[in-house]
Structure 1
Amino acid sequence: MKKVVLMALALGLSLPAMASEKVIDMYKSENCGCCSLWGKAMEKDGFEVRTHVMNDQALSALKEKHAIPAGLRSCHTRLPVI
């Protein structure tokens, strides 16, 4: 009986982590349309995309905060869901 309870508890605790693997937070420029296409492609692949529209200054600050190298920056950024 203890094994069943422990297994159920372990599974229950891991479900939120498994669910968050399919969620994407996408931060995108308010001035670009291609970001929406990328988001739709991710949804087609089974991800839930949470879109955050930002002005260019705020988006640049977000990329600085997360130390995204200048050569890898684009009009949209995907950050892991925590």
Structure 2
Amino acid sequence: MQRRHFNLAALAALALPALAHAQPSRPRIEVYKDANCGCCSQWVAHLQAFGFDVASSDVDDTGVYRRRFGMPERLASCHSAQVAGYAIEGHVPAVDIRRLLKDKPRAIGLAVAGMPAGSPGMEDPRNPKARAAYDVLLVGKDGATSVYHRYPAVAG
């Protein structure tokens, strides 16, 4: 009986590091937003629901942070963020940010220009499944963009 107990304990000790590694991490993301913008707060809630540790700051001018992070002005939206050295501009879905952190491309970050209807934080409570088509753009170090993820329109 003691031998079996030891074997189970040994197996558990070997499995613990693997289990710890399998646990989802909580990446810290710093969000800079307008205090009066409801969609920004909803995007923050979206990130939290997907396991991000969000530090949200209300600021007078998000452009200051966009420029600091190197995000081109032409991709401006209503909030700017930074996670693991990457800039995140606008209503980028959490799944795309997670993919960015996993893939680790040489890039400035991700952007969803404007405020597309149905993107995270821009949902219509009367028709929450509806979505306008939009692209999440990968912004290269040179400012050039490529489509990272295309979201088709959904009628809802």
* TM-score between both structures, scaled by the size of structure 1: 0.63
Tell me, yes or no, if structure 1 residue 50 matches structure 2 residue 55: yes
Q: In the alignment, what sits opposite 2:75?
A: 72
* TM-score between both structures, scaled by the size of structure 2: 0.36
How far is the alpha carbon of 1:30 from its aligned partner? 2.5
More strand by share: 2
The CA RMSD measured in Å over matched residues stands at: 2.3
Structure number with larger C-alpha Rg? 2
The 8 Å contact of residues 25 and 81 in structure 1, kept in 2 or not, is answered as: no
Q: In the alignment, what sits opposite 2:42?
A: 37
**How many residues matched?**
64
Unaligned runs of 5+ residues in structure 2 are 1-16, 18-23, 86-156
Q: In the alignment, what sits opposite 1:62?
A: 65
SS in 1 for 2:70: coil
Same amino acid, percent of matched pairs: 30
| Distance in 2 of aligned mates of 1:48 and 1:80 | 10
| Distance in 1 of aligned mates of 2:31 and 2:63 | 14
Unaligned runs of 5+ residues in structure 1 are 1-10, 12-17
- Structure 1 runs, 4 residues or longer, greater than 4 Å off: none
The 8 Å contact of residues 65 and 80 in structure 2, kept in 1 or not, is answered as: no
Letter aligned with residue 32 of structure 1:
C
More helix by share: 1
